[in-house]
Amino acid sequence: MKVRSLRLRLSLILLVVAPLVWALATVGAYFQTRHEVNQLFDTQQTLFARQLLSSNLATRVDELPELPKTKRLIRGGEHGGFDDDALSFAVFDAAGRLLFYGGDGKHFPADPARRGFVVATVKHQGPWRLFYLPAPDGQRIVAVGQKEGYRRELVWEVVGVQLAPWLAALPLLLLVLVWAIGRELAPLRATAHELAVRRADDASPLQVARLASEVAPMVSALNQLFARTADTLARERRFTADAAHELRSPLAALKVQAEVAQLAEHDPAARQRALGNLTVGIDRATRLVEQLLALSRLDPLSRLADAKPVRWQRVADAACADVAPLAAQRQVTVERVGDASAALPLPGDETLLTLLLRNLLDNALRYGPPGGRVVLTLAPDAIHVDDNGPGIAPDDLPRVRERFFRPPGQSEPGSGLGLSIVERIASLHGLTLLLANRPGGGFVASLVRG
């Protein structure tokens, strides 16, 4: 994949766009200035023509002397910015004969029929803008003119005065912009360097000085990602350590029983006992692996991917069917109480909730007395699993949720993960697991909202 520099791209865009914008501004300024200049000089020509009409111009042109330039007339006095060629005029009679003129007005075309502004060529001097204004009685007509080139020169002078400083400063401006882009992108380079040298297990947040507000969300998202990654790695390390620790004992026991079975080749009774213990050990290891795999799938979840309204009847049927062999083996009666259709309405994952109920029922069956009774209550505000077993010692009750914790004196095989799985599934569904000994004997596990 071709790597393109953001700094280079931004610099090229500015180097192209800035001159283009400057050129467009120049064109716009030119047309705007030309409009204003034309409006100003057209007003002057109109007012001058009216003044000429209101003046007494009875003297004929051949009786008037031709005046020298203004500079000679004022004899060294300050003449300001006056230009003798700015305006010329001519006065004609009704027949088109020249009566009076000024400047190049004697070369203006005499046309009594003309009115208003026209553009015409005067004495091969290029185009002139002429304004023809007739007297009210029609006996005279005044023509006031100005060279089109004079106006263009003035427009460019005005535009040049305004834009020349900007043109001179444009290269410096572009250099400053390119430098500013590099300076503002420096925090990104610092971030890239910090990421390049960061250790894989480093979960500390990125610290970048002069962080732009547009980049801050990205850095914040990276910091959150580092935290999630660190948490995932910690869970994986803990899972691996726990799995290795908990599997070591069952595997060692399996090896011992296998060796006993091999040594008891001539003792059928001892061989049978060893094979029976081997089967029990395999069942225990299998259950431990299943629970570990369940936790490994549940730990990374922050929410349910596909939550649908839970049908507790199906969940209860599936959970009770899963524990039916164990209930028959221990001769324990599993009863269901309540209306499943009205039980604890919530959106959730029925597969996970089946695993939750199965673990609660399995604990109740394993740690209750043989021939006892387990009650699954489906209430509108809670789910309860009760047994009539001995319960849990008050000192051990706060710890039974911990992973791999098993109260002392247990004879039933187990992994110590069942309630951890139940609590994790409950939290994903917005439920709280409550554990308590019943006053009359037995133990109750309840699932309530929040």
Q: Tell whether 188 is covered by a domain.
A: no
Residue 313's pLDDT is what? 92
- CATH at 113: 3.30.450
Residue that terminates a domain, selected from 300, 330, 347:
300
Query: What CATH number should be reported for the domain holding residue 273?
Result: 1.10.287
Per-residue pLDDT band at 61 (split at 50, 70, 90): very low
270 vs 259: CA distance, rounded Å:
12
Query: Which CATH number belongs to the domain containing residue 439 in this structure?
Result: 3.30.565.10
pLDDT for 384 equals: 92
- CA 283/CA 254 separation, integer angstroms: 11
Are 117 and 151 in a shared domain?
A: yes
pLDDT: which is higher, 61 or 300: 300
**Measured distance CA(104)–CA(147) in Å, rounded:** 10
Most confident by average pLDDT, 13-22, 298-307, 352-361: 352-361
Does residue 252 form part of some domain? Answer: yes
Closest CA to 174 of 12, 28, 25, 24: 12
Contacts 24+ apart (CB under 8 A), 170-175: 170/18, 170/19, 170/22, 173/18, 174/14, 174/15, 174/18
Residues 216-256 have pLDDT tens digits of 777 777 777 777 777 767 766 666 665 565 566 566 667 77
Number of domains in the chain: 3
In a domain, 337, yes or no: yes
Query: Average of pLDDT values for 156-162?
Result: 80
pTM comes to: 0.46
Residue ending a domain, among 274, 300, 326, is: 300
Residues 276 and 403 in one domain: no
Residue 235 maps to a domain: yes
> Do 89 and 147 share a domain, yes or no?
yes
Q: For residue 253, how many C-alpha atoms fall within 13 Å in the half-sphere facing its CB?
A: 16
For 405, the token pair is 């914790």
277 and 326 share one domain: no
Is residue 312 located within the same domain as residue 282?
A: no
Residues 52 and 68 in one domain: yes
Bridge partners (DSSP) of residue 444 are: 386, 436
β-pairing, 373-378 with 382-387? antiparallel
Tell me, yes or no, whether 289 lies in a domain: yes
Asked if residue 227 and residue 99 are part of one domain, the reply reads: no
The mean predicted confidence, pLDDT, of the chain is: 77
- Residues 17 and 156 grouped into a single domain: yes
pLDDT of res. 271: 77
Domain boundary among 282, 300, 318: 300
319 and 279 share a domain? Answer: no
Cα–Cα distance between 334 and 315 in angstroms, integer? 15
- What is the C-alpha to C-alpha distance for residues 420 and 248, in angstroms, rounded to an integer? 21
Please indicate, yes or no, if residue 325 is contained in any of the structural domains: yes
Same-domain status, 156 and 220: no
The answer as to whether 193 is a domain residue is no
Enclosing domain of residue 273: 201-300
Does some domain include residue 189? no
Q: Each residue of 343-352: pLDDT tens digit?
A: 899 998 888 8
Q: Which of 38, 51, 39 is nearest to 142 (CA)?
A: 51
Query: Do residues 205 and 97 share a domain?
Result: no
